[in-house]
A and B are shown apart, each in its own frame.
Chain A
Amino acid sequence: GAGVSQSPSNKVTEKGKDVELRCDPISGHTALYWYRQRLGQGLEFLIYFQGNSAPDKSGLPSDRFSAERTGESVSTLTIQRTQQEDSAVYLCASLPQGAAGELFFGEGSRLTVL
């Protein structure tokens, strides 16, 4: 596709349910990042994938959060047993290999936990 695609765009769930968010990066982009943005707040790093290297999971806030990426394609972010404080916009961004590429963000997935 032409840009970074995220789905769903909106998700309302009940506390305790699991949710899965999807990010489809730009074809050929080896780096993929997940961030979280709470209302009125800045970007909070969650996880970073670079090609076939081990992901940098240092930003995941708890073991309820996990993410996978198959090769250099789609990534899924899974939140288990959702809590109200998980409510945020989850943003995905991708970069091509090397330092010279432009950073592209998806439109985000807005998660509301009731």
Chain B
Amino acid sequence: DAGVIQSPRHEVTEMGQEVTLRCKPISGHDYLFWYRQTMMRGLELLIYFNNNVPIDDSGMPEDRFSAKMPNASFSTLKIQPSEPRDSAVYFCATQDGGKTLHFGNGTRLTVT
């Protein structure tokens, strides 16, 4: 299994631009989580899905952030418009209903 696949690995964009981060979960995993990591705030849970349905989005910081999971093999996290304070590493993680979260390698976002 290739594990959780995130793309791109690095993204540099200018303030005000739209950013889309992508995640391909491990096949058969029906839970998907998006986390954000910064030096100041550590690892923060943004949102999670079960069977493609958003269950808890209480960690999404603002309306500029949105996440979708159109099918079991793909999820996106979109920031529109992006701001410098959104610079962070964004992780996607998936779980098969057991107790183990499998993380991707993250997308490092820099907004200038």
The yes or no verdict on A and B being binding partners is no
Show the binding face of A for B, using Cβ within 8 Å: none
